[in-house]
Amino acid sequence: MSSNTITLIFCLGGLTFLANWICLSYFYFKNNSVTLNSKIQLLKKLFYMIIFSTIGVLATGVLFVSALMFSHG
């Protein structure tokens, strides 16, 4: 497989993961009455969520591309 194909698959997987994160975050904040006292507290919570999501995107992408390379040689 070419390097461009692997990069495309990795990026599409990341975009899918982030789209899912956005949907889940929307429903979480909508259904749970989270009391955020200030904008700084909201930004801090979103920052932590983005950091954990970034780690999840990278880990999932590496595992998926590794499995793809293993199965297709």
CA distance 68 to 71: 5
List C-alpha distances in Å: 52 to 1, 9, 18, 71.
Answer: 30, 21, 11, 28
Against a cut of 0.85, is the pTM above it?
Answer: no
Q: How confident is the model at residue 1 (pLDDT cuts 50, 70, 90)?
A: low
pLDDT at 34 over 70: no
Q: Among candidates 30, 60, 25, 63, which has minimal Cα distance to 46?
A: 25
Question: Model confidence over 39-64: pLDDT tens digits?
Answer: 787 788 778 878 887 887 788 778 87
Question: Model confidence over 4-24: pLDDT tens digits?
Answer: 877 887 788 778 877 888 887
32 contact partners, CB below 8 Å, separation of at least 6 = none
DSSP string over 52-71: HHHHHHHHHHHHHHHHHHHH
